[in-house]
Amino acid sequence: MKTWKKVASAALAAMVFASLTAGCGGGDKKKEAANSNEIVVGASFELTGNVANYGKSTLSGLKMAFDEVNKAGGIDGKKLRIVESDNKSEPSEAGNSVTKLVTQDKVIAVVGPATSGCVAASTPITTANKVPLIAPCATAPNITVEKGKVKEFVFRSCFIDPFQGRVMAEFADKNLKVKNVAILYDASSDYSKGLAEVFTKTMEEKGGKIVAKEAFLAKDLDFKSALTKIKSTNPEAIYIPGYYEEVAKIIKQTRELGLNVPLLGCDGWDSPKLVEIGGPEALNNTYFSSAYSAQDKEPSVQKFIAGYKAMYNKEPDVFCMQGYNAGLILADAIKRAGTTDGTKLAAAIAATKDLSVASGKLTYDADHNPITSAIIIELKDGVQTFKEKITL
């Protein structure tokens, strides 16, 4: 991922473009939209690039939610229609992607992107045009709140990084009973750095100690130097907050160095690619935090899984579920608002309470974050296994 400074620059450039193009032909398209039998929603996702698995999965869940709404009669007789746009897993492209959706396609709301950096580049554009944006998987805290102020038009359908960082530290302390932990994090990712910071703080509050803290950069291939330094500190566990591409290689190299301690992670691990790259045996004794497990017996979860299998003939992952939840949140808000006016629609999203979604009942807190729990997933011979559900 890019640094936040680069993200901000990309967002500013796209926002300037948006302000220049917003008036071009906008009136006619708005009139067409008002008279149409469709409600047009933008979907900006990582469909190619380094984290394309996330974007594709999330988009599939969103499509499923809208398909269910449309089959049930739509919203006041109008069908929901998605306009897709590929942000190529790059913040600069995300800004361009969302600018097109807002200024040319005249969408009434945007769902996506999947990753925090791409969302950060998108929200200045949607906010400037008073278009609500729901980020299904973006866990960075300042996505919805910045400098203590809640962003009126920005929401998410997932937990935030501080929450899952605390959850994994709780699990390490109470379940694994480890005290001396090393951290290997992605210095080029605010997502990874934020998780490392919260995990460190929580472990230390519980009397634990961070015995080593090493860094890598996205797209690195060789991690053995950092891992050798970590090994010399004799950690009882290693926390590796990051995305599956690098994490899989790290896990493989960790085991090759003879480090067989528990490896702990975050929702960025959640991809079939993790097992493909790292190998099933290396992944034994590894755990990561997630919002979803197919083994969760919650009726709403099992209903979602059955519906997804019927539509796509395969198992859904957490990103599918978060995209699905985002679609239900938006559809419900449009119904309650009785309008697609951006300001009124944003207010309706913020007022969401006890909405039935795949993960159970969803209510927004004052910071536009859903009140939720987290699941610890254990990998056994490459297979995800439900370990524990944690609510803080």
- pLDDT tens across 312-369, in order? 999 999 899 999 999 999 999 999 999 999 999 999 999 999 999 999 899 999 999 9
Whether residue 25 has pLDDT greater than 70: no
Calpha distance 325→314 (Å, rounded): 18
Name the pLDDT band for 20 (thresholds 50, 70, 90).
Answer: very low
By the 8 A CB rule, do 155 and 144 touch?
A: yes
Calpha distance 288→266 (Å, rounded): 5
Q: Which CATH superfamily is domain 4-159+299-362 in?
A: Response regulator (3.40.50.2300)
Nearest to 30 by CA among 128, 138, 127, 103: 103
**Fold matches, 4-159+299-362 and 161-290:** yes
pLDDT digits (tens, 9 = 90+) for 93-144: 999 999 999 999 999 999 999 998 999 999 999 999 999 999 999 988 899 9
Residue 43, beta-bridge partner list: 84, 111
Average pLDDT of the segment spanning 164-179: 96
Please tell me the pTM assigned to this model: 0.77
pLDDT digits (tens, 9 = 90+) for 29-62: 444 555 579 999 999 999 999 889 999 999 999 9
C-alpha gyration radius of the chain: 21
Q: Which CATH superfamily is domain 161-290 in?
A: Response regulator (3.40.50.2300)
Domain ranges of the chain: 4-159+299-362, 161-290
10 Å Cβ neighbour count for 26?
A: 15
By the 8 A CB rule, do 319 and 57 touch?
A: yes
**DSSP conformational letter for 158:** S
